Amino acid sequence: PCRTFHGSNRLLTSQIVSHYESINQCKKELPEYFNFASDVLDEWAQLEKDGRKPANPAFWWVNDEGQEVKWSFGELGSLSRKAANVLCEACGLQRGDRVIAVLPRVPEWWLLNVACMRAGIIFIPGTSQLTAKDISYRLQASKAKCIITNDTLAPAVESVLPGSQFLKSKLLVGQGSRDGWLNLKELL
């Protein structure tokens, strides 16, 4: 049995389909704890490394200007481990802590999403269209300990920081630097 993946005519491998079917038929037990980063991403990276799965991009991003970022499963796994270390060590976050990401959909958005899954940190996405009032509400309601944004959106975030009693770290995605902010690229 085969299915198409997102409407393309490429088929899911029979190995993956049979694994899925065996879970549906209760022939395999679901793990007590499931982590997408380690249980899926790292497994696929190992299958590629061992030559048991053809190398395909795990992540492929293209912007309006045609710039692209393409990561293999191994690269995404490695980068997400590094990003998880940044969140845990540099930002001082622990399993169960909350992070708000106010970013456009740049590659780092997905990288940080996977890093949070890997580390057990709760990722709260926020659109880049949030106002300062929206950001303030989300910070207080979520009790987020870290906020992640870019150079363009940082001023709106900074305008509400005095009222953020739970926030411990601020992470900047981009080339620039700001006082009191950690830079993701430098830390990676």
Query: In this structure, what are the phi and psi dihedrals at residue 122, rounded to the nearest 5 degrees?
Result: -85, 120
Domain ranges of the chain: 57-186
CB of 93 closer than 8 Å to CB of 65: no
Query: Quick one: average pLDDT of 150-154?
Result: 93
The answer, yes or no, to whether residue 10 has pLDDT greater than 60, is no
Task: Tell me which residue has tokens 């492929």.
Answer: 60
In whole angstroms, what is the distance from residue 78 CA to residue 115 CA?
10
Q: What is the pLDDT of residue 167?
A: 94
Q: What is the pLDDT of residue 73?
A: 94
In whole angstroms, what is the distance from residue 77 CA to residue 89 CA?
18
Q: List Cβ<8 Å contacts ≥24 apart for 37-45.
A: 37/77, 37/80, 37/84, 37/114, 37/115, 37/117, 37/118, 38/118, 41/73, 41/76, 41/77, 41/80, 41/114, 42/77, 44/73, 45/72, 45/73, 45/74, 45/76, 45/77
The answer, yes or no, to whether residue 2 has pLDDT greater than 50, is no
Q: What is the pLDDT of residue 33?
A: 83
Query: Quick one: average pLDDT of 17-41?
Result: 74
In whole angstroms, what is the distance from residue 157 CA to residue 181 CA?
11
In whole angstroms, what is the distance from residue 178 CA to residue 119 CA?
26
- Of residues 19 and 110, which shows the higher confidence score? 110
Query: Quick one: average pLDDT of 30-47?
Result: 87
Provide the mean pLDDT of the chain: 87
Other beta carbons within 10 angstroms of residue 174's beta carbon come to 19
Considering the four listed CATH numbers 3.40.50.12780, 3.10.450.50, 3.10.20.600, 3.40.50.980, the one that applies to the domain covering 57-186 is 3.40.50.980
Query: Quick one: average pLDDT of 158-167?
Result: 90
In whole angstroms, what is the distance from residue 133 CA to residue 187 CA?
29
- pLDDT > 70: percent of the chain: 84
Q: What is the pLDDT of residue 7?
A: 44
Confidence of residue 16 (pLDDT cuts 50, 70, 90): low
- What sign for the dihedral angle of Cα 161, 164, 165, 169? negative
- pLDDT > 90: percent of the chain: 70
Residue 59, both tokens: 């992540």
Tell me the per-residue pLDDT of 99-110, one tens digit each, with 9 for 90 and over: 999 999 999 999
**Residues whose CB is less than 8 angstroms from the CB of residue 109 and which lie 6 or more positions away in sequence, other chains included:** 101, 103, 125
**pTM of the full structure:** 0.82
Lowest-pLDDT choice from 48-57, 58-67, 75-84, 114-123: 48-57
